[in-house]
Chain A
Amino acid sequence: MMASRKPLALHLGILALLLVLFFVLPAYHVGAFSRIMVLAIYAMGYNLLFGYTGLLSLGHAMFFAAGMYGFGLTTNLTGFSVIPAFASAMLAAGLLALGVGYLALRTAGVAFMIVTLMFAQTVYLIILYFGTYTRGDEGFVVQQAQRQLAGIDLTTETARYFTAFILFSVCFLAMAKLVQMPFGKRLIAIRENEERARMLGYDVANLKLRAMVISGVFSGVAGASYALLFGYVGASFAGVQYSIFPLLWVLLGGAGTTIGPLIGVIFMFYLIDISSGWTNAYMLVAGIVLVLLTLFAPQGIVGTLRKRGVAWLP
């Protein structure tokens, strides 16, 4: 009983800490944590596919972008309010993940990486091609008037933080529950030994497709949240860089852990933020730290803690 309560207590403790941080952090870090929580949702989505299912995608930015454009375009072109636009974003990301998953999951390993990368590049070029609507690489603004929910102006620092917090909390707890359910255990079984899982009678293809769709929807929620809370929609978020970021966050924080994605995003965000104050070569600093972490903590921060005795870490 104790063992099962600890992860729940940790999850709730993290949420309580995030709540407290709003009241104690300086203004800049409040804004930073709003962004971190949104990006952590993206990382959680990626983690479900990579960390729990063992599928390494190099094209997840397409799902983030699907959510971002799903929200931004419906808001700008059709005048949808926040809730329907957000639902459209989730639908867009889910449908894209379903389509891409249906095709890409016929491959595995390196081929899966390449196919997802190519699909993401296609999405990126589609955004540029339909520049009349998307404004291509420049992107467009989601105006303040369009970022109101039930009379609450989501562009204020307080509303932004608590919206990010609520979205993060829902995703965080849902993901924690999901990976504890039989569905999550089956994904882990696939990651550990796909052939054995198939031999045991699991419909591996179906499970992987479902994981892909859920992962895509989480990523889409993050993309829509970014557009909603920061007011910008742009093609750079569909670029390769934004497919690599969640991989790094998850590797840093700990693949296949529920708290690893958040830890990874915090670590990476502040690594870049702080090192950019020292040198323009901050990506070199980030690269060296990543290499060192990969060498000395290959299972990420949470994975290493788990290995070194805190075995119950979720």
Chain B
Amino acid sequence: MTQPTKKPTKMNRRKALIGLGASTGALAAGGAFPGAERFAHAQSAAPIKIGFQKHATGIGAAYGRWYGATTDAAVKRINENGGINGRPVEIVVEDDATDPGRGAEVLEKFATQHEVDVAFGTLFSHVVIGSAPRAGELKLPYFVVSEGHHVASGMLNRYTLQPCITDVKSQVISMAPFVAENLGKKVTMIYPDFAFGHDHRDFFSEAIEAQGGEVVAKIAIPPTETTFTRYFPNIPRETEVIYHVMVGPAVLTFVKELGEFFGPNRPELFGFIDSLEAVDIQSPGLEFLEGSYFWEGMPRHAQAGDTEAQKAYRAAVGCNERGASVEDPANVSTYAHMFGCWETLNVIKAGMEAADYQGPADRPKLIEAVEAMSAIPASEDHPQGDKLFNGKTHQVFAQQHISKVTDGTLVVEHSTSIEDGMYEDEVDYTTQTF
């Protein structure tokens, strides 16, 4: 009930103004916020700082967790082997919340607050597309591990590169010959009704026609859908192969309902493992997938013919034979994609060493050095396999794998050649100025 008097009010206001002035002064000094301090200059022994734009929260969190683990393992190995140009590598992690708005803010933070040398690690396409303009404006090399076609499409800029994971267009094109020759030529596609699904629809339709096949039905599932049975009667009887790329938490329901709909007499099934990354293939409800086929960028389950480099990589990232955490077998990894972080860090290392990178002023030299890369042979730096980097489109091409679910294990049935996934250049980023 006590009413404030005039006098204390004036004092409070004065104090508030003094506080405001003091805050402004503090801001001016650059010390009001954590991390606002600047490094004077990169010394020869100062760490190479790499900003890791991590999907720590949001829809990409499962990927973010494993991209983080792979990044840590790769940096540990690089540092144990002498770092980059004799300098240790330091990872600066910021959560982008799997949101493009936040992603752009994170890049700003990397460039102007943490003053990193390069940024890397983003998976989700909308975060890459939302962040890339800022990377170009901030002159910050931005190495993405996204598999989106956005880089090679020419939508982005010279500062954005995807040197270690193939894009969806290449993946899809390379799958068509196997599908047409081994599974069937009449394909029904079931895909989420947003950009990721549309990419599959468009690229695969064209690719299967080139193989003499056809897409007999295109069934788009709205992203808000939680049950799918009502869509299945739209699958034509003549269908020989169902191509599915459902993603998100409803994928288990999708598979279960598909199994209930078809029973034992189903067409061949071909899908992208994106649907089931971080999900145990032996989870209850997924029995229907036995005998079906999946694209994998890198085989999740250990294969009989694994190279020493692949075994070393598996051990380094802490995965067991089934691609789950050694410490917690219930924690299944995103094995088909996360190798991209390991390999991208090695490309950054190779690029910096080729460019004799000393600091941010050498960023254009770093990009030119990466653009000059072409054949990237399989090695411990690149355990996924041989690659061919296109410096003009900033996009890499690599071997892809098709695995069959056999007794609950993903067994590689076919590996494509690099050439299977190649297509005409859509951009030449090297013509853009820095």
Contact = CB atoms under 8 A, between A and B. Distances in A.
Interface string A295-314: 00000000001001110000
B126 A236 contact: yes
Given A27-B112, A309-B4, A309-B12, A21 B101 contact: no
Q: Which secondary structure dominates chain B's binding surface?
A: helix
Given A28-B112, A35-B105, A141-B155, A234 B36 contact: no
Contacts of A29: 27, 33, 36
A236 B124 CA distance: 13
A194 interface: no
B306 interface: no
B86 interface: no
A234 B108 contact: no
A293 B39 CA distance: 36
Interface in A213-264: 230-232, 234-237, 241
B125 interface: yes
Nearest to B134: A230
Interface string B191-219: 00111101000000000000000000000
A276 interface: yes
B141 to A, nearest CB: 17
Contacts of A144: 133, 136-137, 157
B285 interface: no
Contact of A277 (B13, B34, B222): B34
B361 interface: no
B133 A230 contact: yes
Contacts of B79: none
Contact of B222 (A35, A125, A132, A235): A125
Nearest to A156: B137
B218 to A, nearest CB: 13
Given A131-B198, A138-B129, A26 B4 contact: no
Interface in A6-34: 17, 20-21, 24-29, 31-32
A52 interface: no
Contacts of B195: 131, 135-138
Interface string B13-46: 1001000000010011010011110100000000
B33 A138 contact: no
A128 interface: yes
Interface string A118-152: 00000001001101100111111110100000000
A166 interface: no
Nearest to A131: B198
A274 interface: yes
Given A24-B28, A26-B30, A231-B134, A139 B100 contact: yes
Contacts of B33: 28-29, 270, 273-274
A234 B35 contact: no
A17 B24 contact: yes
A141 B133 contact: yes
Best-buried of A24, A28, A138, A283 by chain B (most CB within 10 Å): A138
A142 B100 CA distance: 14
A231 B33 CA distance: 27
A232 B130 contact: yes
Contacts of A28: 33, 36, 108-109, 112-113
A84 to B, nearest CB: 21
Interface in B69-84: none
A138 B36 contact: no
Tell which of A35, A137, A140, A282 has the most Cβ of chain B within 10 Å.
A137
Kindly state the interface size class of chain A when it binds its partner: 35 or more
A4 interface: no
B198 A136 contact: yes
Contact of B57 (A25, A138, A283): A283
B280 interface: no
Contacts of B13: 309-310
A155 B133 CA distance: 9
A309 B193 contact: no
Contact of B156 (A20, A141, A277): A141
A140 B129 CA distance: 7
Contacts of B198: 131-132, 136
A155 B100 CA distance: 18
Contacts of B329: none
A78 interface: no
Contacts of B56: 280
B155 to A, nearest CB: 5
Contacts of B137: 144, 155-157, 231
A254 B35 CA distance: 30
A241 B57 CA distance: 14
A137 B126 contact: yes
**Complex A-B, nearest 7 residue pairs according to Cβ-Cβ distance, in ascending order:** A231-B133, A309-B9, A24-B28, A138-B195, A27-B112, A28-B113, A136-B195
30 contacts: A17-B24, A20-B24, A21-B24, A24-B28, A25-B28, A27-B112, A28-B33, A128-B222, A131-B195, A131-B198, A136-B198, A137-B126, A138-B126, A139-B129, A141-B133, A141-B155, A144-B137, A155-B133, A230-B104, A231-B133, A232-B100, A234-B126, A236-B101, A273-B109, A280-B56, A282-B95, A308-B12, A309-B4, A309-B6, A310-B9
Interface of B: 4, 6, 8-9, 12-13, 16, 24, 27-28, 30, 33-36, 38, 56-57, 94-95, 99-101, 104-105, 108-109, 112-113, 125-126, 129-130, 132-134, 136-137, 148, 150, 155-157, 193-196, 198, 222-224
